[in-house]
Amino acid sequence: MEAKLELRDLGTEVAYEAATALQEELHTARVADTRHDILLLLEHSPVYTLGRSAGTANIIYTQEERQQRGIELYQTTRGGDVTYHGPGQLVGYPIIKLSDRGIGVAEYIMELEEAIIATLADFGISGTRDDRNRGVWVGDDKVAAIGIRVSRQVTMHGFALNVNTKLDNYLGIVPCGLTTAGATSMEALLGHAVDMNKVKTSIYAHLKSVLNYT
């Protein structure tokens, strides 16, 4: 099958459960080699998601407080701890076959980080990686989280880049279980709102580059 990365933009206010169901459908098709690799880009409705290593102690807001703020809680199959998704945050779910790319899981995570760092650089932001805590950082603050699942050599879940994210929703959790880390966004770092479509164009181009797609 030709090495290409299809892009599908799902838009905004996408329910987490619906996006998960779509990922599972695409994952099954990719395992069977009945479709190309694909990148889903979207913004979720407000939700806290729990990864496989998440502890409930890292959920600060009570159920009532979450309901008041319109934030759902969802247990997921990705790796990692707890994180927030919501409007203004660009979420990317690459459904790709790692064996076709000739890379393993650790290298794949590093390539995701590299694509995000390159995207930030396009907007004048210097991001870094931390080998102990995956994701992309600006100083001591995390600007992008990464949590994946790999089954039968095909990936699910992916990354969440804070573009114009409402950062006070992070107050309801201990992000990624890291008590000393904060959260930031491109908007907060630049002092103005960022064009989401330009970020989508940038991240798609850089992902194709680092993963060697045509």
Contact partners, residue 92, CB within 8 Å, separation at least 6: 39, 40, 41, 158, 159, 160, 161, 203, 207
Q: Report the percentage of the chain scoring pLDDT > 70.
A: 94
Q: What's this model's pTM, rounded to 2 decimal places?
A: 0.92
Mean pLDDT value across residues 200-206: 98
Q: Please give the C-alpha separations between residue 2 and each of 6, 37, 160, in angstroms, as whole numbers.
A: 11, 10, 28
Catalytic residue among 160, 176, 196, 211: 176
The position carrying tokens 């210097």 is: 126
For β-strands 82-85 and 47-50, DSSP reports them as: antiparallel
pLDDT level of residue 139 (50, 70, 90 thresholds): very high
Known catalytic residue: 81? no
pLDDT for the residue 105 = 96
Position 107 pLDDT exceeds 60: yes
pLDDT level of residue 78 (50, 70, 90 thresholds): confident
Please, are residues 173 and 110 in contact by the beta-carbon 8 Å criterion? no
Q: What span, in angstroms and rounded, lies between the C-alpha atoms of 73 and 190?
A: 30
Q: What span, in angstroms and rounded, lies between the C-alpha atoms of 94 and 167?
A: 25
Please, are residues 181 and 142 in contact by the beta-carbon 8 Å criterion? yes
Q: Which residues pair with 40 in a beta bridge?
A: 8, 93
**Backbone φ and ψ of 23, nearest 5°:** -60, -45
pLDDT for the residue 178 = 56
**Count of domains in the chain?**
1
Structural domain that includes position 137 = 5-210
Q: Which of 1-10, 23-32, 74-83 has the lowest mean pLDDT?
A: 74-83
Q: What span, in angstroms and rounded, lies between the C-alpha atoms of 71 and 134?
A: 24
Mean pLDDT value across residues 112-125: 99
CATH of the domain at 200: 3.30.930.10
Instruction: Report DSSP state, residue 176.
Output: G
Structure tokens at 129: 């990686």
Position 177 pLDDT exceeds 60: no
202 or 1, which is more confident: 202
82 or 145, which is more confident: 145
pLDDT level of residue 51 (50, 70, 90 thresholds): confident
Q: Report the percentage of the chain scoring pLDDT > 90.
A: 73
Position 118 pLDDT exceeds 80: yes
Position 69 pLDDT exceeds 60: yes
Longest dimension (CA), the chain: 50
pLDDT for the residue 180 = 56
Q: Please give the C-alpha separations between residue 164 and each of 55, 68, 99, 186, in angstroms, as whole numbers.
A: 27, 22, 35, 7
Q: Please give the C-alpha separations between residue 127 and each of 56, 118, 121, 148, 181, in angstroms, as whole numbers.
A: 29, 8, 7, 20, 15
Contact partners, residue 72, CB within 8 Å, separation at least 6: 16, 45, 46, 47, 48, 66
